[in-house]
Structure 1
Amino acid sequence: MVVNVVPLTAARWRYCRRAKGVFTELKEKPYVVELDLRDDGYKIQDVLLDLVGRRTVPQIFVNGKHVGGADDLQVAFRNGVLQDLLGTH
């Protein structure tokens, strides 16, 4: 199964590091987009606002499904929903 995991994060933010740590724990290697390191990061955040109603990071997408932010990701990890989305459960 090909899994598309895209965390939209900021390199130096604690919640973003915490979210990336979940994928490290699961031995997943997501395609990470560090918005604060991109010239167009603010434009991507504008699109996030339109898509999910939030500009804040991290915002996590797995196979096109919006999982949410860092707290949402932790809940999905604890209750097995994230593993189901990843096909590792």
Structure 2
Amino acid sequence: MQRLAVIFAGDIAAYGVMSNHYHVVFYIDAITANTWSDTEVIPGWQEPFKASNLAQRFIHGASLDPCEESKLKELIELWRK
């Protein structure tokens, strides 16, 4: 849980562990998340989830056409939220 708090710019306010599940109260720090560059958002998202092929190509320095860049910007803003 602590690692996810770092990845998603948040803090764990409280949690409860039951015998078969748990509850977490998570505070999102939107100010911090909004300061991250696109190249910071993508690796954070890739840690717990599989990022798109487009994002992986961007991280590895591939050139993207304008349509791909536009789609990647949409994805990054979704991930940032």
TM-score normalized by the length of structure 1: 0.31
Q: Which has the larger radius of gyration?
A: 2
Q: Which has the higher contact order (CA 8 A, sep 6+)?
A: 1
Q: Which has a greater percent of helix?
A: 2
